[in-house]
Chains A and B, each alone.
Chain A
Amino acid sequence: MCGIAGLISLNRIRENGQRIKKAIVLQTERGNGLGAGYGAYGIYPGYESLYAIHIMAASEEAMERAALFIRRWFKVQKQEPIPVWDKIIRDHPYFQRFFVEPAALSQHCPGGRENEDDDVLEKMMLMNKEVCGAYAFSNGKDMGVFKGVGTPQEIYDFFMLDHYEGYSWLAHNRFPTNTPGWWGGAHPFNALDWSIVHNGEVSSYGINRRYLEGHGYVCHLQTDSEVIAYLFDLLVRRHGLGIADAANALAPPYWASVERMENHGQQERLRLLKIIYEQAMLNGPFAVLAAFSGGMFSLTDNTKLRPMTTASQDGYTYFASELSALYEMREDLQQIVTPRAGEPVVALFHEPAASGKGVAV
């Protein structure tokens, strides 16, 4: 029973975390203080072209090992501690961020991959596997994930998110059930520019994980939700699916509904998606909110076992697990849209980012 909130300015108007905080703090009862987190896009102006790698480490030595690893594979333009207010949470990991250029681009390391994104993601997975006590938990451009063990209010204050301005924000309040409540296991989960927050459980985790491993993804964060971020990265970025197709692959209609369809083009497409992506399909109850460089969208399982409500007004779209939380982001909402099962609610920026690649809907 986790809580989710999200907001996006379709015109890329930046704001600090106040509104998203109000929406997730209102849903404090949906978590139990063992995990909360925020994701923000557009927060690193001046560094838009660099990958922003956020690292958490159990000790200064582990952070040193992580820094060495990053310097071996990337050209680091800037390294700094992520500011935290440790009076809020005294027992916490060390946090640093690195703004880097990929090796292939910088010619820093011969043998870098052709595709920068693949290269960065591969190195991040390698780091999480090989560098003991340190985790890269956010590695997209001009965005960042801030998460940990605490309530939504505590994590907000800990990372001092009043000081960041982003044009799309995600938030999560965690109630860990099947997996441990630890700093790396809080949401959002990130893979390059994809971040997801998830309420529910991925009962198909084993199958999804093996499928992803076949495509080079390694799951290190001990939480089932991790696979969802990698699946979107695989389906949309690497395979080039549109969001509607990706949603239909992950939360497809039942076979009976597909076989009954009168639109035969759509029917054939769904058949193909269901067959090709059988092992990517997410089973179990879930509501997911996913953000990426092109926008944000929600998705629920095809029997709607977890809640999601949305509202769009004046160039903004809002998402929340509980309807009341939408009003925390905007008082005078005119219309609430509660999507039906498996139906994504998609909000895309009006103009793509200069560095962003277009994504089909």
Chain B
Amino acid sequence: MSIAIDAKGVDYRQLNELVRNCLSQGERHIIIKNVRGQRYLGAGLTAGDLLLEVEGVPGEDLAFCMGGPTVIVHGHGQNAIANTMDSGTVVVHGLGGDALAYGMRGGSLFIRDSVGYRVGIHMKEYRDMRPGVVIGGTAGDFLGEYMAGGTLIVLNRHNEREGVCGQADKTLATGIHGGEIYLFNYDVPGFLPGTGARLLPPDKADTGRVRSLVEKYCLYFGFDPKPLLERELVKIIPADSRPFHKFYCPAYPVNS
């Protein structure tokens, strides 16, 4: 059983109130129709068994601080999707904007097509909480900046030759000190990786985590994972476990 809400012309505060009311009445499959730019959908919701379907283009901060639900967007997404998200799944059948997965702490985000700038900044992990992000197309500058955990995959589904993960010098994974970034079928130019990022030579997708995330991506969007996974991929990890320990003046006698 599902319940539908018509969002046409409804203010985002009222719309989120409607969703929360449905949730408190026991609804676990909510379809929001005619969404156009309403912000904060799914924000702060914690029901692990909730399926929230969004028809249209949701506004900024979709699934902000969400912990548990599955959100499926039948349309493009805007900026700051999965901001500080805790757990759950977000699936976007289209484009993503800027600053996705900012400070994301767990759960997974699947974007079918390309995304904008500053995706995956400050993603982090703790014990068994490991966020996973799969981008079907390409990404802009500052991908995975200050990344501290989790897995960020740029699938480059159309095998683009340039601009796959930004274009400006030293913006890719700048200041990364945890987690890992995978880039499929792309010869990363030497000027792209930022300070603290270490590029490993091309390899095949042998790790279970990449395979499992890409397979899930393909399941959601109806692609065949085999040819996608057969392509080479490069991995970016932090240069070492504390890449910036010499960067700061030892004002306090730590570990001395």
Contacts and interface: CB of A to CB of B under 8 A. Distances in A.
Interface of A: 26-27, 29, 253-254, 256-257, 260, 302-304, 307, 322-325, 327-328, 336, 338, 340-341
Contact of A256 (B78, B117, B191): B191
Contacts of A327: 36, 56-57
Nearest to A326: B57
A139 B191 CA distance: 47
B169 A341 contact: no
Contacts of A254: 168-169
B79 interface: yes
A324 B35 CA distance: 9
A323 B35 CA distance: 12
Contacts of A29: 12, 39, 59
8 contacts: A26-B36, A26-B37, A256-B191, A302-B168, A304-B98, A304-B140, A307-B116, A328-B36
A324 B114 CA distance: 16
A257 B78 contact: no
Interface in B147-177: 163, 167-169
* SS class, residues of chain A in contact with chain B: loop
B76 interface: yes
B97 interface: yes
B141 interface: yes
Contacts of B191: 256, 260
Best-buried of A29, A253, A257 by chain B (most CB within 10 Å) = A29
Counting from the closest, the 7 A-B pairs by CB-CB distance are A324-B37, A324-B57, A256-B169, A304-B117, A324-B36, A26-B37, A323-B76
A341 B78 contact: no
Nearest to B138: A340
Contact of A303 (B56, B79, B163, B168): B168
Contacts of B58: 324
B169 A257 contact: yes
B139 to A, nearest CB: 11
B199 interface: no
Contacts of B239: none
Contacts of B39: 29
Given A304-B141, A307-B97, A336-B95, A27 B168 contact: no
Contacts of A253: 168
Contact of B117 (A26, A27, A303, A323): A303
B168 A323 contact: no
A324 B141 contact: no
Given A260-B191, A302-B168, 18 more contacts: A26-B36, A26-B37, A29-B39, A254-B169, A257-B167, A303-B142, A303-B168, A304-B116, A304-B141, A322-B59, A322-B60, A323-B57, A323-B78, A327-B56, A338-B95, A338-B114, A338-B116, A341-B140
